[in-house]
Amino acid sequence: MIKNFVRGFGALSLALIPLLSAPAAHAAPVAEVTTLADAVGLVQVTEEDRTGYTRSSFKHWNAGDDAGDGCNTRAEVLIAEALIAPTIEAGCKLTGGTWVSYYDGQEVTSAGALDIDHMVPLAEAWDSGASAWTAKRREAYANDQGAEASLVAVTARSNRSKSDQDPADWMPPSPEAQCRYVGEWVATKLRWQLTADDRELEAMKIYAEGPCEDTIVRYTPA
């Protein structure tokens, strides 16, 4: 009886050795939380270069986070950000629903009147480091639903007014939106390890050290 117990315990111990010695699984990235001023200080500063940029370098919209729901990234963002959920019809056609475009504070009741804005525009991302990425990473960036700040549903008018400009040249027309906007811009730059140029950095510092000094930035590296 004792011999059998010892033999069984020894076998169990051997079976456990691979489990104990196996390398730990890669931990998920940890969310970073900091002040806007400190976050701005973490953004690397370099000159920007748009050489070779084309919008088609960033594949979008793809099948989204749920490839089986029949909706692309654009539609999934609209569904996620709706204050009153739209009806989802065949082919992921969205009818009804209510949204508020935070750039200009406008209430919108038609999905077709909204653009899905890349917080840091594709051209700006290219200038700031994405030109060196793989096509797969650029696609991930262009369809990023892993952070609420990355893609936002806003009025077409405000999005097209912004175009590919950074905070040195464009800010949301609604004053109430500006601190949130700067915080989300910096969070997106840090999430994707994108750089900033001198004018952009100075513009962010003005907000971080002035009206937006209490803004908190949260980001998770992609």
pLDDT at 23 over 60: no
pLDDT at 150 over 70: yes
- Alpha carbon 108 to its chain's center: 23
* 210-215 average pLDDT score: 97
Share of the chain above pLDDT 70, in %: 88
Nearby residues of 32 by Cβ (< 8 Å), 6 or more positions away: 190, 217, 218, 219, 220, 221
pLDDT at 6 over 80: no
On average, the pLDDT of the chain sits at: 91
Residue type, 119: M
Q: What local confidence, expressed as pLDDT, does residue 29 receive?
A: 82
Q: What local confidence, expressed as pLDDT, does residue 42 receive?
A: 98
Q: What local confidence, expressed as pLDDT, does residue 12 receive?
A: 41
Q: What local confidence, expressed as pLDDT, does residue 28 receive?
A: 75
40: closest CA among 189, 156, 146?
Answer: 189
Question: What is the tens place of the pLDDT at every residue in 105-115?
Answer: 999 999 999 99
Q: What is the DSSP string of 150-205?
A: TEEEEEHHHHHHHTT--TTT---SSGGGHHHHHHHHHHHHHHTT--B-HHHHHHHH
Give the separation between CA 119 and CA 186, rounded to whole angstroms: 10
- Alpha carbon 67 to its chain's center: 19
Give the separation between CA 34 and CA 219, rounded to whole angstroms: 9
* 179-196 average pLDDT score: 98
Question: What is the tens place of the pLDDT at every residue in 51-104?
Answer: 999 999 999 999 999 999 999 999 999 999 999 999 999 999 999 999 999 999
